[in-house]
């Protein structure tokens, strides 16, 4: 007959708990290390940011592009920042703002705050229109010029109708409705 004592059962139970704890620790460590490696390879999604290389005519735009949608009654602010190769902040000089659709948007550059404001021109947007916005700055703080740039993409949509109006004309003599026969004076006394 097989006899199990409380102390033997407790030893077995302790061994099982220790094994589960070690296994859980290994799984957690493995999961953390794998997630860190994935983050190094693929940074977390930053909502709308993606890597792109685009060639338009003889111009190549390469890097992160942020796409924003707005309507003609809105504006969007964006900050720009220069970074050194190791990711530390850097200074630039003479920043300027360019767009491929100057007839559709008004761009304002606030150099003191490293900010741009883009406004759609009211009444000129008839269909969804993509607009490229580019901030260009001189990275060479000396006498030379080494331009660096960043590009953002806007999708500008026409503003939606918010109300419907109805304007009446002055009353005039009635004409027949489509499909209605015209009556004569003898039948009704009028035409």
In the structure, what pLDDT confidence band is assigned to residue 5 with cuts at 50, 70 and 90? low
In the structure, what pLDDT confidence band is assigned to residue 60 with cuts at 50, 70 and 90? low
Instruction: Name which of 63-72, 128-137, 150-159 the model is least confident about.
Output: 63-72
Any idea of the CA torsion for 124, 126, 128, 129, to the nearest 10 degrees? -40
CA distance 108 to 97: 7
Rounded to a whole number, what is the distance in angstroms from the first to the last CA of the chain?
A: 119
DSSP string over the chain: -----HHHHHHHHHHHHHHHHHHHHHHHHHHHHHHHHHHHHSPPP-SSEEEEEEEETTEEEEEEEEEEEEETT-EEEEE--EE-TTS-EE--EEEEEEES-TTTEEEEEEGGGTEEEEEEPTT---S-EEEEEEEEEE---SSS--EEEEEEEEEEEPPPP--------------PPTTPPPPPHHHHS--
- Single pTM value for the model: 0.51
Instruction: Name which of 36-50, 76-90, 100-114 the model is least confident about.
Output: 36-50
Q: Give percent above pLDDT 90 in the chain.
A: 1
**Ramachandran area for residue 35 (φ above 0: left; ψ -120 to 50: alpha; else beta):** alpha
| Residue carrying the six token digits 């009654």 | 73
158 pLDDT more than 80: yes
pLDDT for the residue 27: 78
118 pLDDT more than 70: yes
Segment 117-139 shows an average pLDDT of 86
pLDDT for the residue 157: 84
CA distance 110 to 112: 6
In the structure, what pLDDT confidence band is assigned to residue 45 with cuts at 50, 70 and 90? very low
pLDDT for the residue 46: 46
pLDDT for the residue 41: 64
CA distance 115 to 123: 25
More confident call, 108 vs 18:
108
51 pLDDT more than 50: no
In the structure, what pLDDT confidence band is assigned to residue 38 with cuts at 50, 70 and 90? low
pLDDT for the residue 175: 87
- Say which CATH topology domain 49-157 has: Immunoglobulin-like (2.60.40)
Where do the domains of the chain lie?
A: 1-44, 49-157
């Amino acid at each position: 007959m097989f006899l199990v004592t409380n102390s033997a059962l407790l030893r077995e139970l302790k061994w099982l708990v220790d094994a589960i704890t070690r296994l859980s620790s290994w799984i957690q460590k493995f999961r953390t290390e794998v997630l860190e490696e994935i983050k190094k390879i693929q940074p977390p999604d930053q909502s709308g940011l993606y890597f792109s290389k685009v060639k338009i005519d003889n111009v190549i735009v390469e890097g992160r592009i942020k796409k924003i949608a707005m309507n003609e009654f809105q504006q969007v602010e964006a900050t720009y920042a220069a970074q050194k190769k190791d990711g530390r902040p850097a200074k630039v000089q003479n920043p300027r703002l360019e767009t491929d659709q100057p007839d559709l948007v008004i761009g304002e550059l606030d150099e003191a705050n490293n900010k741009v404001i883009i406004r759609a021109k009211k009444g000129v947007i008839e269909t969804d229109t993509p607009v490229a916005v580019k901030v260009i700055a001189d990275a060479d703080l000396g006498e030379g010029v080494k331009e660096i740039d960043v590009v953002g993409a806007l999708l500008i949509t026409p503003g939606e109708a918010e109300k419907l109006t109805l304007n009446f004309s002055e009353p005039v003599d009635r004409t027949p409705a489509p499909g209605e026969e015209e009556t004569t004076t003898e039948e009704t006394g009028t035409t």
